[in-house]
Amino acid sequence: MSEIINLSHKIEKQLPAELVDFMQVAGEVASRQGQNLYLVGGVVRDLLLEQPNLDLDLVVEGNAIELAQQLARIKQGKITTHPRFNTAKLQWNKWSIDLATARSETYAKPGALPRVKPGCL
């Protein structure tokens, strides 16, 4: 069985307050919509290793593009969307956050772009 590790203390210690605040806001917005939101990617590894990393990647069990649009309004940021892949990049101030819809991928052939459909973690 997998062990659940709470990284909140490491997040608050290792990341700038502005990013911690962003993640709290993002979590609240997703929660109000009944969606689960996860911090994923290299930043999780680096939090565990206590290494610097400001490259935030979030996965939502819901619509990442809609979530990014809401967060862009709140943070007065700009977004770039990739509807084919259900992803968005949110930029505000000096920060850039990647958001993706939880999904499954299939590939027609090696090297092809994936066909994606919403999924869960």
Domains defined for the chain, CATH in brackets = 8-105 (3.30.460.10)
In the prediction, which pLDDT does 121 show? 83
Residue 21 pLDDT grade (very low, low, confident, very high; cuts 50, 70, 90): very high
Indicate the angle between helix axes 17-32 and 64-75, nearest 10 degrees.
Answer: 130
**Which string of b and e fits 19-28 if b means at least 16 CB within 10 Å?**
beebbeebbe
Arithmetic mean of pLDDT, 113-120: 87
